[in-house]
Amino acid sequence: MLPELENLALDRTDDGILTITLNRPSKLNALNAATIEEIGQAMQFALDEPSVRGVILTGAGEKAFVAGADIAELAALSEPLARRTAERGQEVFCSIEESNKPVIAAVNGFALGGGCELAMACHIRVASDNARFGQPEVNLGLIPGYGGTQRLTQLVGKAKALELMMTADLVKADEALRLGLVNHVVPQAELLGFCRQLLGRVLTKAPLAVGQVIDCVNAYFEPERHGYQTEVNAFARCFASEDFKEGTQAFLEKRPAVFRGE
């Protein structure tokens, strides 16, 4: 049974796709502490539930994916609480990035501040043609706190990341595509259908191998891990799996493989 959450709407289809919709349209889906906790709960459900094979993360309405943080809530924080807020936000967003099940962000409008950070934590980003991205925290005397300084730099490079974060400039969808911030740009009416089709293609592949690809790519950006050795270990693990046996047998028999994630 799907968990009932106040700020999120969850929908699971028969093909194993869980759609998580941030559902605060009157607030342009702005992130508050309760919403971040619920994102963590939804991701934990996705990871624990065998029938869920992949996730699409999007926002309610046509204006915003997530238009930033709840500024009124932030303004009331003390320094110790602000530290804990950033730590918890990073924990939840890392649970998305480190998920062994693929997560696609369907960015349907503004993705600002924490919204841009949330999208960047996903494995693939697809933007509607009216989407806008930005890290405008310096306008408030702040910096990104949910991993934005790190992930934006990884995606667009040091010089451009510094420019965007120091100027607070917004990036339109076509520019985001050129910079490598998003994978695809589509008309808004086609956004969710395109994401489902893309995720559906991923879900035809071996689940264990897909999860290991995610882990190996993440290892590249983690100084304490050795990416090449992580790849060797993952390769060996896949080689010993039932999915490898099925994949090679299906190839030799010229038939579609039926993977079980083992």
Give the contacts of 142 (CB within 8 A, at least 6 positions apart): 74
CA distance 139 to 167: 9
Structure tokens at 58: 């999007």
Residues 82, 152: Cα–Cα separation, whole Å:
21
Distance CA 69, CA 115 (A): 8
Strand partners, 105: 57, 125
Backbone angles phi, psi at 259, to 5 degrees: -90, 150
Say which of 37, 38, 62, 137 is annotated catalytic.
137
In the residue annotation, 38 being an active-site residue is answered as: no
Residue 144 three-state SS: coil
Q: Which two tokens stand for residue 11?
A: 């929908």
Give the burial class of 162: count Cβ atoms within 10 A of its Cβ; 0-12 exposed, 13-18 middle, 19 or more buried: middle
Tell which phi-psi region holds residue 226, choosing left (phi > 0), alpha (psi between -120 and 50) or beta.
Answer: beta
Considering the candidates 37, 38, 97, 117, report the single residue annotated as catalytic.
117
Q: Is 117 a catalytic residue?
A: yes
What are the residue numbers of the active site?
Answer: 117, 137
